[in-house]
Amino acid sequence: MMGKKSRIIMNRNARKQHVISEMHFRHFSDSNGNIYVYEKGKATRKSTPHNECVIKDYFECKLPGYETNFEVENRLGKLETAAAPIYRNLIAGRELTSVQAATWALYVSSLFLRSRKIREELSPGTYANFVSGQLETTTLRDDQWRIFNKFGRLIPLEEIREYKSRLVQTYADPALQQINSMNDSTPNLASALVSRHWQVVRPANGMYFVTSDAPVFTLRLHERGSSVGVGWGYKDTHIGFPLDPQHLFIASPTGVEWVSPIDETNTLAFVGTMAQFSYRHIYAHRDSEDIRAPMERHSGTILFGRDAYTVA
> What does the pLDDT look like over 97-141, one tens digit per residue?
999 999 999 999 999 999 999 999 987 777 677 778 888 899 989
Give the tens place of pLDDT for each residue, 10-47: 455 568 899 999 999 999 999 999 999 999 989 999 99
Query: Taking 80 as the threshold, does the pLDDT of residue 172 lie above it?
Result: no
**Mean pLDDT for the stretch of residues 86-101:** 96
Question: How far is Cα 60 from Cα 73, in angstroms, rounded to an integer?
Answer: 8
Neighbours of 162 (CB within 10 A): 11
Q: State the pLDDT at residue 133.
A: 83
CA 85 to chain centre: 20
Give the tens place of pLDDT for each residue, 40-82: 989 999 999 999 999 999 999 887 777 888 999 999 999 999 9
Which three-class secondary structure state does DSSP give residue 292?
Answer: helix
Contact by Cβ (8 Å): 53, 25: yes
Phi/psi class of residue 257: alpha, beta or left (left: φ > 0; alpha: ψ in -120 to 50)? Answer: beta
Which three-class secondary structure state does DSSP give residue 236?
Answer: coil
DSSP 259: -
**Mean pLDDT for the stretch of residues 262-277:** 94
Contact by Cβ (8 Å): 223, 243: no
Contact by Cβ (8 Å): 281, 37: yes
Query: Taking 80 as the threshold, does the pLDDT of residue 168 lie above it?
Result: no
Strands 197-201 and 247-252: antiparallel
Query: Taking 50 as the threshold, does the pLDDT of residue 1 lie above it?
Result: no
| H/E stretch holding 247 | strand 247-252
Which three-class secondary structure state does DSSP give residue 63?
Answer: strand
**Which residues does residue 237 pair with via DSSP β-bridges, in sequence order?**
220
Residue at 122: amino acid letter = L
Angle, CA 183 vertex, CA 72 and CA 134 arms, to 5°: 125
Burial class of 307 by CB neighbour count within 10 A (0 to 12, 13 to 18, 19+): middle
Residue 311: pLDDT band (50, 70, 90) is low
